[in-house]
Structure 1
Amino acid sequence: MSDSMDVDDERQRIRERKKRELQRRLENEADPGNHGAGSESPSEPIAIDGPNHLEEVVASYPVVLVDCYADWCGPCQLLEPTIQALAAETDAAVAKVDVDRHQRLAQQLGARGVPTLVLYADGQPVERTVGAQSRATLEGLIEQHS
């Protein structure tokens, strides 16, 4: 029971930190002279619009979970709430690649089936999974490489 409470406390701490970071970012946007990229991860998944964008995202954050998905994929749809929660509650940035729109990029990422999840740490791919994964599994991979 205390493990569950510890996990809940940790999630709440991360949520609070991300709220503060978002507030800081919003304040910084009001100051056009401030363009600090920082390494704080966004609390929403990032929709990737091409290979250059993915490279930029992977280079900008220490840990990035890339979700290669398709809108028609049932397991992808089941995984979506987990992907949203990981973006909001972990230190990893979460990126989404639509395999139908970006077939060549999905191929480069090794996505032979959907969903395929690729975890990057320090700009390098360190883990790849195929199929829907449990939230605990994905959180464990992120923590292992954070």
Structure 2
Amino acid sequence: MSTPESTGAPIHVESADHFADLVDEHDVVLVDYHAEWCGPCKMLEPTVEAIAAETDATVLKVDIDELQGLARDAGVRSVPTLQFYKGGEEAERVIGVQDKSDLVNIIEQLSA
């Protein structure tokens, strides 16, 4: 049986409730806050997709223009912002384009 979560692709978050459910259901979650107009977000996208495919982390994509309230409530002031959750709690946050190896290291530490 294949669910979107197990195909290794980022999950497009559709609402605040959807976001809360996904964070609660999965142990390690990487949230990519992004926007269509954001150049650095586009640069980061292949890295985020690779992490979704290659790690056990569940990767969520939040379009800050679609879900302004969710982004505001999360304290996101610039994009890209990457938020890491462990067991439903925010564990780490990084802002801007990141090296894949640095992001994978955070996921591995949270998964340990």
Query: Shorter-chain TM-score: what band?
Result: over 0.9
- Aligned ranges for residues 80-99 of structure 1 at < 5 Å? 80-99=45-64
Question: Match of 1:112?
Answer: 77
1:50 matched to 2:15? The reply is yes
TM-fit CA distance, 1:42? 4.3
1:71–1:113 Cα change, 3 Å? same
- Aligned ranges for residues 8-47 of structure 1 at < 5 Å? 25-26=1-2, 41-47=6-12
TM-fit CA distance, 1:109? 1.5
AA at the equivalent of 1:77: K
TM-fit CA distance, 1:131? 0.6
Q: Distance in 1 between matches of 2:50 and 2:13?
A: 18
Q: Deviations for 1:87-137, whole angstroms, at most 9, x for unmatched residues?
A: 000010000000011111001112100000100000000001111111011
Identical pairs, percent: 48
| Residue of 67, 72, 76 corresponding to 2:41 | 76
Q: Distance in 2 between matches of 1:123 and 1:43?
A: 20
Considering fraction of residues, name the structure with more strand: 2
**Backbone CA RMSD of aligned residues:** 1.4
| Number of residue-to-residue matches in the alignment | 110
* Larger of the two Rg values belongs to structure: 1
Q: Which runs of 5+ in 2 are unaligned?
A: none
Considering fraction of residues, name the structure with more helix: 1
Q: Distance in 2 between matches of 1:42 and 1:62?
A: 16
1:124–1:41 Cα change, 3 Å? farther
